[in-house]
Structures are given as C-alpha cells and as structure tokens.
Chains A and B, each alone.
Chain A
Amino acid sequence: MPPMKASAGEVAALRGLLAQSGGRASWQALERVAGSAEFRAFLESRHPSLGGLLGGTGRRRILQVMAASFAFGGLAGQARAQDSTEDQIVPYVRQPTGLTPTVPLSYASATLLDGIANGVLVTTIDGRPIKIEGNPDHPWSRGGTDAFGQASVLGLYDPDRSQAVQHLGGVSEWDSFRTALQAPFAALRATRGKGLRLLTGPVTSPTLIAQIERMKNTMPEMHWHAHAPAGRDTLYAGARQAFGKPLETRWNFDKASLIVSLDSDFLDPGPQQAGASRAWAAARRRSLHEGRLLAMHAVAPSPTLTSAKADYHLPVAQRDLPPLAHALLAKTKGGEGPLGEWTDTVVAALEGARGQSIVLAGTHQPAEVHAAVHRINAAFGNTGTTVGYIDPVVAQAEPLRELVQAMRQGEVAMLVMLDTNPVYSAPADADFGHLLSGVALKVHAGLHFDETAALSDWHLPLSHPLECWGDARSLDGTASVIQPTIQPLYDGRSAIEILSMLTDPEPRAGYEMLRAFWRGQMGDDFEAAWRQALLAGFVSGSAFPAQPVKPAALATAVAPATTAAALQVLVRPDPTIWDGSFANNAWLQELPKPLTRTVWENVVAISPKLAAREKLKNGDVVVVDVAKRQISGPVWIQRGQQDDTITLRLGYGRRQAGSVGDGIGYDAYGLRSFDALWQIGGATLRQAGASASVATTQQLDDQEGHDYVRMQPVGGKPVGDNSAFTQPTLYQREESDGRAWGMVIDLDSCIGCNACIVACQAENNVPVVGKKEVLAGRDMHWLRVDRYYAGADENPDTRFMPVPCMQCEAAPCEPACPVEATLHDAEGLNLMVYNRCIGTRACSAYCPYKVRHFNFLHYSEAPASIQAQRNPNVTVRGRGVMEKCTYCVQRIVAARIDADTNHKPIPDGAVVTACAGACPTQAITFGNLAEKESAVAKARADGRNYALLGELNTRPRTTYLAALAPEERKA
C-alpha cells in the first residue's frame, strides 16, 4: 500500500515509540509508550480529558483504551505498513491476537443514508476496509444492502475528502480552532446560548441527540435545526395531520395480500430500501408458495422502482393524487377513464382484503396524501395488522426554514453546521449563501470542503463512518453501533467529538462518549451488553415499540381536484447520487440510473407525448422555467411518465464536490422553494436549441418480440423449461469433479436497485471509466441490470434482468481464444487467465450475451488512496486485457481451500458471490448444482426456471426464474 499522508506529527512520534519496541505490540510496549513525554503531549492535545488518568489508578484504563484503539483503528498494522515504505521493514515477531495478515476480518457496523442506519458487516483486510456486506442478524436490514452502502468504502478513500482544519481559507489546526472558539462559547454560555444556532443533517444518533439535549440544557436560548434536503419531513407532517404527532409507518408485508401504492417509493433508493424491499420480496415469495400473488397496484406521476414492480400500474398526474387518495378513503366511484377504472378496481380489492392490505404513499408526497393514507389504512382495518406506527427515528429538530427566518432577522450570531451543506442544498428562496455572509461566526464540519465550507469561517474535516465511533438508528428504531474499521485516514473528528470540543471543558473522545451514553441505557451488565452490541452491530431490543394510534377524523373539507393545464415539475432525489452528498463517488456516478440507464449526469425526464408535442428527442437541451427560476438540462424520454409531468433529480450541478462531481448536470435545488420542495406546478418547457450527448449503458428498451424476461402467471402453466440442457451435441461433455457452480436469479424479486453492480465493482476491482468512455460503449461493469419495457409507451410494464457472465458449459468464448486465456475448470467455471490474455477480443466477439469487458485504455490507474480500497484477492487488470464476471472465483477458492484443509465438503451457502450477498431481496441464489439439496439446485428445479438464449446450446450455468404476473394474464 502506498504511504498516506501522516495525520499529525504526534501520531508519527507515537508510532516511532511503538516501532522501537521491536515489533512486539505487547502490554510492555504500551507501558513504555504511555510513560513517554510524546504520549502525554498527544493525550493532552487530542484527548485532554484522559490526561488526568495517566498518573493515578486510571493508568490501566488508559492502557486498555490504547490497546483497543490500536487494534480497532489498525494503528499498529497501519503504522507498520506506512513506516516500512519510509525506513525499514520489520515483520511481526508475534502476531497481534485476532489479526492474520491477508485473512479478512469482519466488523459489524452500519452505513448511513440521511443519518439513518443500515446494519452491515465491513470486511477489512490488513487493516483496510474493502467491502460492505449485509448483516443478516440486523433486525431491519436482515442482510440486505443498498448501492449507497456498498459505495461507502469508496467514499472513505476519496482523495478529495477534507483533510485539515481550515480557517478563512488557510490551513489551521484543531487546537487553534478550540482556542478560537473558547471565548465566543464562554460568552454564549453567559447569554444562555442566545444567537447560537446549530444546523445538522438528519440525526438519528442517540448519543448525538443526547449531547445536543445537554447542550440545550446549558444554553436554553440556542436553537437546533436539522436540514434534510431529501428527508422525511412530509411523512412526519402527514402523521401529524392524522395522529397529531410525527410517526414512522412500518409495514408487515407478511400479513398482506394486497398493496396499493400512491406514488410510493418503498422499493426505491432511500433509507427504507434495503429493509422494506427484503420484507416485500420475502412476503411475495411466501405468497407464491401459498399459490397466490401478493399483488401491487400503483399509481405514479413518474415511474419509480415501486411502480415498475407493480402488477397493475397507471401514470397519474401529481395534482390528481390527493383527490385519488380521498376517493379511496370515501370509496367513491372512480368515474370515467383509466383512472376511474383503476380506482374502482382498487376499492373493490381493498374491500375484499380488509385487514390484509397495505396502502402506502411516497416519501415526497404532500402531507395530506400521507394523512389520507393513514386514514385509508384505518378504514380498511389494516392499522395494527399490516400497518403499524412507531416513533420517528429522525430527531425532530426545528426546520431549516426557521433558521433562515432568524438569519434574515439578524438573530444568528454564530452558526455551527454539522454534516450538512445548506449553501448547495437549501431551497433557492432561502438564498442561504447570501444570508450566511450576515452571520458573524460560521463553523462548518463536513467530509468535503464543499460549497458551505467555502463560505464559512472555520471548516472542520469530519471523519467517515467507517473510521470513527458512532451510533445511528434504522427505520425500525434499532440502534446500530458504528465501529471504526481503520485508523482515520485524515485528521478528522466525528460529529460528537466536534460538539464535545465546543461544549465540554475538555474535549472527549467519541468512543468514550459513546460508551458513556450507552452505559446509561444498557443497564446493569454494561460491559457484556456493550460487547454483544459490538459483535452484533446493533443494540438488541432497541427497536421502537408500536404505537397504538388512531387517526383523527378528517376535519376540513377536501379541496376538489384542480385542473391546471401547465406542466408540473417533480423534484426527486437522484437514484444514485441521492441529494448530492454522493456526488464525488465515482462508482455511484457511473452506476446507471435504474430506469433511464443514464450515467454521470441528471436528465430532465419527460413523457413520450410531451416529447412528441415539443419535438424533443433524447439529449436535446431544454430550459425548465418555474416562477422565474430556471434550470437547463438534457431531455430524456421516460416511458410511463405522466404526460404533463417533468421529473428533475437533485444532487447534480455541484460546484465544490471534488474532482469527480464538480460541474456535471443541472442543479435542481435552484427551482425549489420552501413551499414547493417536491412538486412545483406551473412550469414551462422550452428548447434551448442545443443538444448534449447523454451517456447511457442501454440503447434499446424493448425485447423486440423475444421473451428474454419471461412472465409466470400465478396458478398458470409453468413457463420455465429445461430445453437449454437437453439439446444434442457432437462434442463430449466434460466431467465435473463433483462440484458444479451455478446461479439462479429470480426476476420477480429483482427490483433493479443496482446494489449488486456496486458490490461487484467493490469486490472485483472493476475500474470506473468516465462519461466519455461510457459514451464510446466501454463501460466495465461485470454485471449489468438490463431494463426492458413491454407495452404501450404511456404505461409500459417494466422488467429488470441482471446479466452476469452466464458461465456457459459450452462456452462460445473458449474456442475463440488463440492462447487459451479463457477456459473451463473442473467445477464448471469459465475462467479468465488475465496474465495469459493478449487482447485479441475474439472471446467478446463470440459471446452471445456480451458480458465481457475490455480494458481499452489505462482504466485501472487511480490515485493511491483509491488503490488502497482494492481487494487484494483479485487481480487488478491492466490495459489490453479482457475481463468478466468470474462468479467471485476468489471466494470459491477460499472456500475450497478451507474445505480441503478441513477435509470436509463445502457446505451449501458457504460461498456467496458479491452480487448475491448485496441483494436486498435475495433474488440471487448461488451454489453447487451438483448437490441436490442445495438452494441453487432447488431453485433450478422450480417450474419458473429457464435459460437466457438457451436455444443456442450454450448450456448457461446462470439461469433465471420467470417474474410473476397476475393469473388473468395467461396469454
């Protein structure tokens, strides 16, 4: 590993001391270090609160903490790796306990999206976190991950991350910051905190919330605001309307037989995706075993993954959604037209499934729709059975709007902004950047030196969740403990440490504060409970209890539907960049947006009808005007989009995101106002006259008469067949050695979330190529998720199909290679021998699935810190070499070695490919087909099983299970 920037001189000195102990990272060495002047200075400056302990009885405690932090932070191993490049290489004489070089270690932790946790396991090798895996024990995520979580390892190693404290544009230090803030804070305490405003992102961390509460106790005049540009405020507002207090809705798909979605997004990217989609997919599979379909009816103004997976769907204008919700509530007749029919069908279905249906609304729907949905669920007897309510997991701070109000009135003397970027992401009518200049003292802490940092007096580097202690809650309230998996790469601090620096007499370490908080929560046997929480990654039993609530009756009369003629703009978070906080993550930038399949920018999605009316084609630049604000971006024709709806995506148009994310796309925040965050009416669209090339990874949307994605009507004749494996051949089939690796992908469960693609990229060191190369048709993703449309442009069915290498038994690519760089092994894997490949590209020309990728230029070159993320068990392929999916052969080999040394067969489930492990809906099953009892062999025996292009006699090892369709569509 290349040397990284030393975080501070004092750490280097400490490492020196450790090194002098001759490589023996023992208690004795720690004694020596603890006794040194360097360590005292280090402790004094970094953790002053601990200083007092050194002299007295706390000494043993310090040593414990040191040992723990060295082990957790990888200081010992890391230091050695770094120092070795500088002076001399000293191997371990005694192995530190639990650390074997090259053997992966797994830490239970959590990834965060909008502050909300998803329980994961972090795989580290030699002190470097390299991969995120699902945590099957976590009560919320239950082993599922999402693309954001998978990509967070790259975020950790982002070379553009903020690396130092900055003061007025110059590099400064933490000590200077503390000293500079002491006087103002002393003054604030005297005035009970008047003029102090704290602005955070969405917060679920119990420790941080408690800390802020303490802060407010000492300074009651201060205000805490939270700013979540893609947050859940509308959900809470809806619950307030219906129940009088903010609540989260939890769904019990297992008890449901019908789902009705009013532009719901429970399957879409967001903090709920991993948990909700897993529960939904499991319930849908279970209902299939019972011989029925867990049908979903969905309306959406702009297609979402949820509406894409719906069995009955209809595009409906946003302005028609609130009336529709009230019509469902009142069970009124739907009237004429497709929407009327839909309404009648749904009302009848809801009547027939009382207490067994779930009605949901999208996060970004207005509060009145949410309130109506709560009432519908109550009216149909779902509340308490399929639908439950819990307290909100996101802390209810004051909204940004009030902060803006206060800033306008000059009431803000000091603003501390923690992990938020309001200058970029505040609504346009806030004019936050301008207002900020009126604040006397502005402190910003963030992962990047972003737009807000540039306008602040102080910028503090925040540490990444993979390198610091912390906690956060999942959407069911379960508290996860976030463990550091590496020594901080840069000189960052966590949010709780920064607040402690501001408020505590002596700054306290995050670990200490975390333990102190949980000591108060966990009861008597704290150490055991703490250890258990660390091992499991969450605090067991911390999920919020269900709230027995009943919605209040509808007080006000329902406003009739408006019949506005103008275009309506929907503003939605980007499916891969979210609210812009992932803008500098190249994996997520190059991840195709699930529906448009575009990469590296946001597009203006419009309906085919609108495109025809305005004579627009994909890539034509348009200007969208709303209330004197405008943005311009390339048009993308989105099938299934409601005719008069324009969908814009947040997260782009960043000015200071970093070298990856700067200056691409348009900034949809520029159209937002506090009153219209998610839907803006009265828009106009006009051509800008220019045309832009938008990079997409899929040019054709239709199956063109073929049945690549088969549909299985529930209760109908099986659509799968085994014909791909019974065709005659002139060639001899090669015998296997008793193992036959295979994969079955359930197309009904695939929701197109793309987590598998990022997981594959992280696991297999797949390079990012950039927009220009994607435009040239050279994307490198080993696994792609094809998206096909079927049916009319206005309302097509959407099908997702993940396509990895099929690992054909009669692989057409193999006879192509003149140097035998691609060949079969005895377990049926179609191998790539990278160092034998000379790059004729014949194998790709011969491949009917086109799953092979070629390193056309020097794609694998990357900054040193990015290289640190790479999986050491997978070759980094050079220029001029063909590469492709290997079924994660490195994992198979590890299991094989393990089995060989233990003289036992590889148990079923011991090898999980990266894609299968990442999948939140468990759509991918992998294992040994030769073993009759294995999960994959059973899946292959399913009547839905079929091979893609099986008629070519390639005998693919990857097969598919047909997606489910309602019984009446037997066709």
Chain B
Amino acid sequence: MPSQALSNTGPVFLPPAHDDRTIGAQIAGIAFEHPSERRWLIAFAGCCALVGLMGVSVGWLFYWGIGVWGNNIPVGWALDIVSYDWWMGNACGALIVSAMLLLSRQSWRGALNRAAETVALLSAAAAGLYPIIHLGRPWFFYWTLPYPNNLDLWPQFRSPLVWDAFDIISFLIVALLFWYVGMIPDLATLRDRATGLRRKQIYGVAALGWRGSVVHWARWIQTYRVLALLGVLQAICTQCGASVMYAGTLEPGWHSTLLPVSTIINAIFSGLGMIAVVVALIRYLYPIQSPITPHHLDVLGWMVLTAGLLSTYCYCADFFFTSLGGDAYDRSVMLRRLTGAYASGFWLIGAALLPIHLLWFRSARRSGAVLFVLGMLAMAGMWGDHFMLLVITQHRDFLPSSQAHYSIGIWAVLTWIGTTGLFGALLLLALRYLPVASIVELRLLARQQVGETPRG
C-alpha cells in the first residue's frame, strides 16, 4: 500500500468525517441500493437501444460488404479505422493515467482509478470489434494470428497489422487483469457487507476467496503494481504499434518519426478527456454517494491541461519540421490539413486544444460541468486527429490522378454510435454493480489524513 503521508497543508481529498465504516457503507451502498435509479434506467435503456442499432448495422455490413460504409479507393481505411484508433487511444490513455498514478503512489487516486480502469477496459472492448468487422472477409479474422494449421501458413510478421492484432489482444488481457486484480479487496468488502445469499455468493465468488491476510495484501500489492507497469508498457506498445501502421508506409503525412510520440500523447489527452467525462457523469449520477471531490477535479484539470499542452507542442513541431524541411508531398498534405476538403478534422483539434487554457483558472478546474465539456472536446478533437491523419493522406497522396473524395456513409456512423452504446451499457452496469471507487484506497487515504500509519 502507498505509505507516503500527506502533509496537513495539502488539499483534503476526503471529508474528515470519513472512516473505514462510512467509506464501505457509502460505496457498497451504490452497489446494493442503486441510488438515482430512474436516471440510470433511462441511460441504460438508451445505451441498450444503441447496442441494438450496432447489431443491425453490423448485420447490414456483413450482408452487403464494406461498400455500405462509404470507404473507397484510395480511402480504403476511413471511419472504421478512425473509430478503432480513437477507442484504442482512449483505452491506452486511461490505462496509462491510472497505472502511472498507482506507480507514483498518489494515494488520492482511489476516487478516480476505478473509473479510469473501467473506461480503459470498456474502450478496448469497443475498439476490439473493429479489427474484425472492418475486414472484407471478417470470417477469416483468425488468419492474422499464428495458429497451427495444416497448410503451414503463418501470418506475415513484417506487417504492422499482425502486431496490432497481438497488441489489442494482449492489451485486453492486461487491462482486464489490472482492473480486476485492483478490485478484489473491494469485492470482498461487498461480499462481507452483502445482505441476501445470492449477493453474498456472487460477490464471494468474484472476490476469489480474499481474506485480508497479510500474505494476501503483500501478494496483491505486488501483483497490482506489476500489472500497472505492464499496463503502461502495453499501452505505449499498442499506441506505437498503431502509429507504425502509418509511419511505416511511404505515404506523405504518415511517414514520420514524430507520429508514435504524438499518438501516445494524444491518447493520454483523449483518455483523460474520457475520464473527465465519466467522472463528471458519476458525480451527476451519484451526487451524494460519490467520493469524488473538487480536489480530484482540480488535479484532473491540471492533467488535462498538461496533456493538452504536450499535444499542442506535437502539432507545432510537426508543422514546423514539415514546413521547414519536409518534402513537397508532406507539405501539400500539411496544407490540405489546414485548408483542404477535410480541414474540419484539423479545426476540430483546434477546438479541443484552445479551450483547455481555461484550465489555468482554479474555478474552471474545480467545475464538473467545465471538465465535462472540455473532456468531450478533447475526445472530439482526438477523433478529428485520427480522421485527419487517415482521410487526408489517403484521399490524395502522390499522384493527383488518384485523388478521390470520401464521404462518410450513414452505416459507418451508425456502427460507431453503436459502439458508444456498447461502451455506455457496459459502463452503466459496472457503475451499478461494482464499487465505483476503490474502497480500499479510500480507506487508506482516510487514515493518512488523520495521521494514522496504515497497516500492511
């Protein structure tokens, strides 16, 4: 457990009245008593409808083919890969934030980390759909994996797409383990507090026999931290892998060494945006029970601002190097990003990166509504980044004769909306039945605040 004591002059992340019992009751209360049930039900029904929509869109896609999406030649990768990259960016960013806070022993993270890890896992789940459905012949998706077969055929290991397939699978495993392992003591708390046999049994099984012994704690904290480290590395690998899919080509605007760096930074920015949105939503859904304080929002605000500034730096560097030294094709891609038919993608990024400067103000950082809006803008901006990267380079690369414009197909939009529904439905289930904040870490924080040395 983090043992660093906070100084008394620091911000108070937990109201002083909290102790072990009130924290447990508060968090478990959400799982057992379902506060704000009407709001939750409406949201869940909406999300389920969107999941149904996704089913219809994917069914239509499988029946007719990729042509229903609006993709063409040269823009063979369009909204499908944009959405995939965007979801994966959110997932990686959220995971990096949560894991880095754990590794750097920020004991206040307890109120946020469950949200962050859940977001990471569910974003990856939403993203995981695309590598399969975007194929022309999706029923052969497993050909990208090395499996024993009587034709002695292997995937081609030079292809970034193969590594991307490995990446998303291992990312899902790591994110799932990180999320679940971190939750085991909390699940045990729920089991202990549960009324009714069924609940006891379900949470009991989920808690994997946690008894809170010293050995359990020691093993747990080791495992959790190792997984955090793995998660950070995995998220960086995944983002680098995704960007090498572009950087490894000859295409103007893609063939760039800066791309992996900016992709990771943008992923963190986008992931923080998503955390900010979900945190604001949790505060809206559970105004009383939620342990998220304005102090948390304040820290989140600083992080969003930092990531946004780093992202701004990357765009400036890209612009600077391209216009200074880049070749003619790179320069014309840059020009098209600013002024071309799809310049809206770039200006969407501007719409995300400019308002973050509001976060220099304390009142803005501490406002859930402001964070929600800025988080939404960050996500939208990073969606615009992926759109810009993919569509602008592809629709017009080297030969003017190969230019063709791409228009977004309605089924591609519906599919993407469907994935947000999937994400939302799973998130709402998690918020309702699982501890929305880390009980164990909040308890630790409470003890630290009253100066007590934590056990274990």
**A and B bind:** yes
User: Which residues of A are in contact with B by a Cβ distance under 8 Å?
Assistant: 698-706, 708, 773, 776-778, 784, 786-788, 801, 803, 812, 815-820, 836-842, 844-846, 848-850, 852-858, 879-882, 948-949, 952, 954
- List residues of chain B with CB within 8 A of the CB of A850: 73-74, 397, 399, 402
Seed contacts A840-B136, A850-B73; 10 additional CB < 8 Å A-B pairs: A700-B403, A708-B399, A773-B67, A816-B159, A817-B156, A817-B161, A838-B137, A845-B74, A848-B397, A880-B135
- List residues of chain B with CB within 8 A of the CB of A815: 156, 158-160, 248
CA of A784 to CA of B136 in the docked complex: distance in angstroms? 24
- Assess whether B71 is in contact with A841, with CB atoms less than 8 Å apart: yes
- Assess whether A838 is in contact with B402, with CB atoms less than 8 Å apart: no
Nearest residue, chain B, Cβ from A882: B136
B400 adjacent to chain A (CB < 8 Å): yes
CA of A421 to CA of B421 in the docked complex: distance in angstroms? 59
A889 CB to nearest B CB, Å? 20
Q: List 19 A-B contacts (CB under 8 A).
A: A699-B405, A700-B396, A702-B400, A705-B328, A708-B399, A777-B75, A815-B159, A815-B160, A816-B159, A818-B165, A819-B155, A820-B155, A846-B250, A850-B402, A854-B136, A856-B71, A857-B68, A880-B136, A881-B136
- List residues of chain B with CB within 8 A of the CB of A784: 401
Chain B 66-80 near chain A by CB (<8 Å), digits 1 or 0 = 111011111111000
Nearest residue, chain A, Cβ from B74: A850
- Which one of A776, A816, A819, A845 lies within 8 Å of B143 (CB-CB)? A819
CA of A828 to CA of B404 in the docked complex: distance in angstroms? 30
A169 CB to nearest B CB, Å? 38
- List residues of chain A with CB within 8 A of the CB of B143: 818-819, 836, 838
CA of A343 to CA of B400 in the docked complex: distance in angstroms? 36
A562 CB to nearest B CB, Å? 40
- List residues of chain B with CB within 8 A of the CB of A857: 64-65, 67-68
A593 CB to nearest B CB, Å? 15
- Which one of A853, A855, A952 lies within 8 Å of B250 (CB-CB)? A952
- Assess whether A818 is in contact with B77, with CB atoms less than 8 Å apart: no
CA of A936 to CA of B248 in the docked complex: distance in angstroms? 33
Residue of A854, A881, A952 with highest tally of chain B CB at under 10 A? A854
- List residues of chain B with CB within 8 A of the CB of A803: 399, 401
- Interface residues in B370-416 by Cβ distance below 8 A to A read 394, 396-407
- Assess whether A839 is in contact with B137, with CB atoms less than 8 Å apart: yes
- Assess whether B156 is in contact with A819, with CB atoms less than 8 Å apart: yes
- List residues of chain B with CB within 8 A of the CB of A954: 250
- Which one of B136, B155, B397, B400 lies within 8 Å of A704 (CB-CB)? B400
- Assess whether A854 is in contact with B400, with CB atoms less than 8 Å apart: no
CA of A274 to CA of B403 in the docked complex: distance in angstroms? 31
- Assess whether B159 is in contact with A818, with CB atoms less than 8 Å apart: yes
- Assess whether B399 is in contact with A855, with CB atoms less than 8 Å apart: no
Nearest residue, chain B, Cβ from A859: B67
CA of A164 to CA of B134 in the docked complex: distance in angstroms? 48
B306 adjacent to chain A (CB < 8 Å): no
- List residues of chain A with CB within 8 A of the CB of B74: 777, 844-845, 850
CA of A521 to CA of B407 in the docked complex: distance in angstroms? 64
- Assess whether B161 is in contact with A776, with CB atoms less than 8 Å apart: no
- Interface residues in B247-272 by Cβ distance below 8 A to A read 248-251
Nearest residue, chain B, Cβ from A813: B249
B344 adjacent to chain A (CB < 8 Å): no
- List residues of chain A with CB within 8 A of the CB of B407: 776
CA of A82 to CA of B63 in the docked complex: distance in angstroms? 32
A55 CB to nearest B CB, Å? 63
B320 adjacent to chain A (CB < 8 Å): no
CA of A954 to CA of B399 in the docked complex: distance in angstroms? 15
A182 CB to nearest B CB, Å? 56
- Interface residues in B220-250 by Cβ distance below 8 A to A read 245, 248-250
Nearest residue, chain B, Cβ from A705: B328
A845 CB to nearest B CB, Å? 5
- Which one of B64, B67, B76, B137 lies within 8 Å of A837 (CB-CB)? B137
CA of A320 to CA of B397 in the docked complex: distance in angstroms? 43
- Assess whether B398 is in contact with A845, with CB atoms less than 8 Å apart: no
B147 adjacent to chain A (CB < 8 Å): no
- List residues of chain B with CB within 8 A of the CB of A854: 66, 73, 76, 136
How many Cβ-Cβ contacts under 8 Å join chain A to chain B? 162
- Assess whether B144 is in contact with A838, with CB atoms less than 8 Å apart: yes
- Assess whether A777 is in contact with B65, with CB atoms less than 8 Å apart: no
A851 CB to nearest B CB, Å? 8
Report how many residues on chain B are interfacial, defined by Cβ distance under 8 Å: 52
- Assess whether B72 is in contact with A856, with CB atoms less than 8 Å apart: yes
- List residues of chain A with CB within 8 A of the CB of B396: 700
CA of A776 to CA of B411 in the docked complex: distance in angstroms? 15
Nearest residue, chain A, Cβ from B406: A777
Nearest residue, chain B, Cβ from A880: B136
CA of A855 to CA of B400 in the docked complex: distance in angstroms? 23
A206 CB to nearest B CB, Å? 45
- Which one of A776, A786, A842, A882 lies within 8 Å of B399 (CB-CB)? A786
Residue of B64, B67, B394 with highest tally of chain A CB at under 10 A? B67
- List residues of chain B with CB within 8 A of the CB of A702: 400
- List residues of chain B with CB within 8 A of the CB of A879: 65, 136
- List residues of chain A with CB within 8 A of the CB of B64: 857-858
Nearest residue, chain A, Cβ from B68: A857
- Interface residues in B133-183 by Cβ distance below 8 A to A read 134-138, 140-141, 143-144, 153-156, 158-162, 165
Given contacts A786-B399, A854-B66, A856-B71, contact A841 B155 (CB under 8 A): no
B373 CB to nearest A CB, Å? 35
CA of A773 to CA of B70 in the docked complex: distance in angstroms? 10
CA of A704 to CA of B67 in the docked complex: distance in angstroms? 31
CA of A784 to CA of B332 in the docked complex: distance in angstroms? 24
- List residues of chain A with CB within 8 A of the CB of B136: 837-841, 854-855, 879-882
- Assess whether A856 is in contact with B67, with CB atoms less than 8 Å apart: yes
- List residues of chain B with CB within 8 A of the CB of A840: 134-136, 161
CA of A840 to CA of B77 in the docked complex: distance in angstroms? 9
Given contacts A819-B143, A820-B155, A837-B137, contact A848 B73 (CB under 8 A): no
- Which one of A786, A842, A948 lies within 8 Å of B161 (CB-CB)? A842
- Assess whether B400 is in contact with A848, with CB atoms less than 8 Å apart: no
- List residues of chain B with CB within 8 A of the CB of A852: 73
Given contacts A844-B73, A846-B250, A850-B74, contact A838 B159 (CB under 8 A): no
- Assess whether A849 is in contact with B402, with CB atoms less than 8 Å apart: yes
B132 CB to nearest A CB, Å? 10
Nearest residue, chain B, Cβ from A951: B327
- Assess whether B72 is in contact with A846, with CB atoms less than 8 Å apart: no
- List residues of chain A with CB within 8 A of the CB of B153: 819-820, 836
- Assess whether B65 is in contact with A816, with CB atoms less than 8 Å apart: no
- Assess whether B72 is in contact with A776, with CB atoms less than 8 Å apart: yes
- List residues of chain B with CB within 8 A of the CB of A812: 249-250
- Assess whether B66 is in contact with A880, with CB atoms less than 8 Å apart: yes
- List residues of chain B with CB within 8 A of the CB of A801: 401
CA of A855 to CA of B64 in the docked complex: distance in angstroms? 11
Nearest residue, chain A, Cβ from B398: A848
B156 CB to nearest A CB, Å? 4
Nearest residue, chain B, Cβ from A597: B401
CA of A535 to CA of B327 in the docked complex: distance in angstroms? 58
Residue of B75, B138, B160, B399 with highest tally of chain A CB at under 10 A? B399
CA of A954 to CA of B398 in the docked complex: distance in angstroms? 13
- List residues of chain B with CB within 8 A of the CB of A838: 135-138, 140-141, 143-144
Chain B 45-78 near chain A by CB (<8 Å), digits 1 or 0 = 0000000000000000000111110111111110
- List residues of chain B with CB within 8 A of the CB of A700: 396, 400-401, 403
- Assess whether B401 is in contact with A856, with CB atoms less than 8 Å apart: no
- List residues of chain B with CB within 8 A of the CB of A773: 67
- Assess whether B67 is in contact with A842, with CB atoms less than 8 Å apart: no
CA of A700 to CA of B404 in the docked complex: distance in angstroms? 9
A547 CB to nearest B CB, Å? 46
- List residues of chain A with CB within 8 A of the CB of B156: 815, 817-820
- List residues of chain A with CB within 8 A of the CB of B158: 815
Nearest residue, chain A, Cβ from B409: A776
A280 CB to nearest B CB, Å? 25
Nearest residue, chain B, Cβ from A708: B399
Residue of B136, B161, B332 with highest tally of chain A CB at under 10 A? B136
